[in-house]
Structure 1
Amino acid sequence: MDQFMQAAIDEARLGRREGGIPIGSVLVRNGEIVAKGHNKRVQELNPIKHGEMS
């Protein structure tokens, strides 16, 4: 598994630990992570708090 997928999985696990849905995402540019996040829909009771939005 590459480092980028691992970073997305780490974000998903963080979301699960917070009581949310385990979905994580990373944005990579030129081989470098420039952003990362995880779903916060459940934690913040907001239907638009998807991982790719945070």
Structure 2
Amino acid sequence: MSCDPYKWTCARCGKTHCNPFFTCYPREFWKDGKKRIGEVCEKCRDEIDYSNVREEQK
């Protein structure tokens, strides 16, 4: 997360968010073939959580 509290970049999709009320979520995810941990946006959080639930159901 950048030093500017009103601007940060999602660690998974790379999209920059400027809204101070846009919440980021710490998650573990795969990117470029490596497992990473970082702050992700709500859309990426939903995708990660959904894929984790589907893996548990298998």
The answer to which structure has the higher strand fraction is 2
**Which structure carries more helix by proportion?**
1
TM-score bracket for the superposition, by shorter chain length: under 0.3
In the superposition, the TM-score normalised over structure 1's length comes to 0.25
TM-score (norm 2): 0.25
